[in-house]
Chain A
Amino acid sequence: MIAQRRTLIALAALAIACGIGALPLILGSDHQTTRGLVAALVLTSAWGFVGTGLYAWYRRPQNRTGPLMTAVGFSWFVFAIASADNAYVFALGSLVSALPFAILIHLLVGFPSGRLQGRAQRFVVISTYLLVTVGQIGWFLFAEPSAEGCDNCPANPIRIGNDAGLGEAINTVQVLVASGLIAGAVAIVFRRWRRSTPDQRRALSPVVFTGSLAFALLFVQLAVNGAQVSERVEQVAFIASIVVFACLPFAFLVGLLRSRIGRDEELRSALSAENEQLNEKLRAKVEELRASRARIVEAGYEERRRVERDLHDGAQQRLMALAMTLRLARGKLDSEPAVSGALLDEAIEELTTATGELRELARGIHPAVLTDRGLAAALGGLAGRSPVPVEVLGTPAERLPAAVESAAYFVVAEALTNVARYAHAEGATVSVARSDGVVEVDVRDDGVGGANPEAGTGLRGLHDRVAALGGELAVSSPAGEGTAVRARIPLAG
């Protein structure tokens, strides 16, 4: 805020200095016929716009109307430059002499938020800027003001052609385009007027009224410049412009301060950008949630299918084989007791395998020790059963919420299964640490790396399991450098 205030004060001081500097240029000009009037126009408009602009800037720092008004104010000083007697300074001033009107149109079209909305507004404003820069240069390269009514004007030092007709033609095109753009700006303003609520009209009315007057005067001036009229009429028109242009900034200021809608609008446009981003994020999140929910449901079915398959291929087959073996043994009990005994041994063998498989299957569905004794015990068991040597570096001493323990356990279990299957590792480490309301699970091995987390359903399932608790899972597996699986699970879901 303080920095902003300093900027505003510096700009005000600069405007005063420019005004004082402009006076001798205008008043001492050889070619300005109405020096006093030009000086009055420049000073009232420039200081009026800068003063009101800075005030508006100060009152509504988020609104761009203030800065735009200030810019219009400063741009008036180009008339002082165009008043210079030095040929080059005069040429420079002439080149930029239409700039104030362009910024004015920008201001008017963007009022009251100061922001351009929609293609039409941008088109009009950008075209106007192009016209007063590129178009102006095009005209000035062929124009010779000293030969076209401005008797005391210095010779144009950057003229490249002698063709007066071409300069005039460009000028005519410029005027036509300018008229079109002004008409466009007026149309935009009136369209806004027509669509606005009574409240908004209260804010727009001073600007629309004074603005229309100013543009009407611009048209008159364009007409006056074209036609030969008496000096008296020219002077009256000029004085009228001074009055209107002096009033214009105050009209903008009053309009801006009246505009509650404008304030809302500037807030809205500042918010809407942020809103848009948030919406975008939200949509992505919802999409991700929908997808992961679908995957979790699918994973549930997949899990059932797996259990069914394991039971069918494993225990069920073995038990059926067992029944057959026992029947065979029963049949040979009397005739071939030795064979019968061997068959019974075989049956016992099959039965032992079947119970072992059932045990592992049940443990895979849910490890009882995890519920009974917590992560440290369950992970110790996992590490002990792993065919690859596993070192458990640390686990939280206290019990964690069941869902978190379960997720952490399955992250480690799946990671260790992958280590055993694919990593060709000499060893692996497991650590689970709690810090700042987050549980960090870290499983890494010294194997071949190169694992693709997108490829396996196992890791995908883990990702969903962790994401369901608001956590995240990261797998890093550069080829030749081992694999690290890391999960961060928040304790308060």
Chain B
Amino acid sequence: MRVVVADDSTLLREGVVRLLEESGMEVVGQAGDGEELLRKVRAHKPDVAVVDVRMPPTHTDEGLRAARKIRAELPEIGVLVLSQYIEVAYARELLAESAEGLGYLLKDRVADIATLADAVRRVGGGGSALDPEVVSQMLGRSRRDDPLDELTPREREVLALMAEGRTNAAIAAELVVTDRAVEKHVTNIFSKLDLPASSEDHRRVLAVLRFLDQPGS
């Protein structure tokens, strides 16, 4: 898998590069700001761009803007956004069109090789990787007549993992249950929340996230 890494902190960027290379990926380019990232992505056409939100010159949301540009311009390239803070508002912007080939992770997660590599692979394969914190913030939102109240605790766990972008197999492995059991939970969740069932993972993620993100009604 070919990757471009963008982060203005050389220390962190090189750390990420090393971890990715250890996991058997090929880092084809590195960038220190949004402009450079776009140039490298256009030139190398990688499978995934790993992007830090805050970069020069304004140190606000350059990475986020570059990420949206890449998704608009080169939708086949997966984008994994790393952020010092998890903000639902950022996630909402990134998810505006689709959850396909998109990841949004807390920067701290890069310390865990497995998590980072897994997220890059999922995003590179057209899937999604949403930080558990985004999901828990969305789940924790207060709603009047909350339909989530109807879910069993296990169903809530499954819903959270679905929202993170995990496949049924991954959910089954995580919860140590069978694939069949997960499928049953998923069907229950969709019918309880009145969501259109979908076999395709990324459609499913988007439906779940849209549901979780709708204003408390």
Contacts and interface: CB of A to CB of B under 8 A. Distances in A.
A351 interface: yes
B96 to A, nearest CB: 14
A146 interface: no
B59 to A, nearest CB: 9
A373 interface: yes
Contact of A381 (B87, B112, B142): B87
A267 interface: no
Interface in B3-40: none
B85 A390 contact: no
A385 B142 CA distance: 11
B196 interface: no
Contacts of A331: none
Contact of B85 (A359, A376, A392): A359
Contacts of A383: 141-142
Contact of B137 (A348, A372, A384): A384
A282 B11 CA distance: 56
A361 to B, nearest CB: 12
B108 A369 contact: no
B186 interface: no
Interface in A359-412: 359, 362-363, 367-369, 371-373, 376-378, 380-381, 383-386, 389-392
A372 B60 contact: yes
Contacts of A352: 108, 111
A128 B185 CA distance: 101
B216 interface: yes
A363 B85 contact: yes
A371 B60 contact: yes
A385 B87 CA distance: 10
B90 interface: yes
B84 A391 contact: no
B90 A369 contact: yes
A368 B61 CA distance: 9
B60 to A, nearest CB: 5
A368 B60 contact: yes
A385 B137 contact: yes
A368 B138 contact: no
Interface in B115-174: 136-138, 140-144
A308 to B, nearest CB: 21
Contacts of B61: 372-373
A386 B141 CA distance: 9
Contacts of A363: 85
Contact of B84 (A351, A368, A377, A385): A368
A24 interface: no
Contacts of A162: none
Given A348-B111, A351-B111, A359-B108, A391 B142 contact: yes
A376 B89 contact: yes
Contacts of B143: 391
Contacts of A384: 88, 136-138, 140-141
**In this complex, which of B136, B141, B144 has the most chain A Cβ atoms within 10 angstroms of its Cβ?**
B141
Interface string A154-166: 0000000000000
Contacts of A376: 89
Q: Place the interface of chain A in its size category.
A: 20 to 34
A355 B15 CA distance: 16
A392 B217 CA distance: 11
Nearest to A363: B85
A356 B108 contact: yes
Contacts of B89: 369, 373, 376-378, 380-381
Contacts of B87: 369, 373, 377-378, 381
B202 interface: no
A462 B117 CA distance: 44
A145 interface: no
Nearest to B108: A355
A450 interface: no
A453 interface: no
Contacts of B85: 359, 363, 367-369
Interface string A262-299: 00000000000000000000000000000000000000
B173 to A, nearest CB: 21
Contact of B54 (A355, A368, A373, A381): A368
A369 to B, nearest CB: 4
A93 interface: no
Contacts of A351: 111
Nearest to A351: B111
Contacts of B88: 377, 380-381, 384
A427 interface: yes
A117 to B, nearest CB: 66
Contact of A389 (B108, B112, B138, B140): B140
Contacts of B54: 368
Contacts of B140: 384-386, 389
Contacts of A348: 111-112
A371 B60 CA distance: 8
Nearest to B64: A372
Given A359-B84, A368-B84, A371-B60, A389 B142 contact: yes
A348 B112 CA distance: 9
B213 to A, nearest CB: 10
A392 to B, nearest CB: 8
B111 A391 contact: no
Nearest to A354: B108
Nearest to A383: B141
A372 B59 CA distance: 10
A381 to B, nearest CB: 5
Contacts of B137: 381, 384-385
Contacts of A362: 84
A118 B108 CA distance: 78
* Minimum-distance CB pairs A-B, first 7: A377-B89, A384-B137, A389-B142, A391-B142, A369-B87, A372-B61, A355-B108
24 contacts: A351-B111, A352-B108, A356-B108, A359-B85, A363-B85, A367-B85, A368-B84, A369-B85, A369-B87, A372-B60, A372-B61, A373-B61, A373-B90, A377-B87, A377-B88, A378-B89, A380-B88, A381-B87, A383-B141, A385-B140, A389-B140, A390-B141, A391-B142, A391-B143
Interface of A: 348, 351-352, 355-356, 359, 362-363, 367-369, 371-373, 376-378, 380-381, 383-386, 389-392, 427
Given A367-B85, A385-B137, A391-B216, 7 more contacts: A352-B111, A377-B90, A378-B87, A381-B89, A383-B142, A384-B138, A391-B144
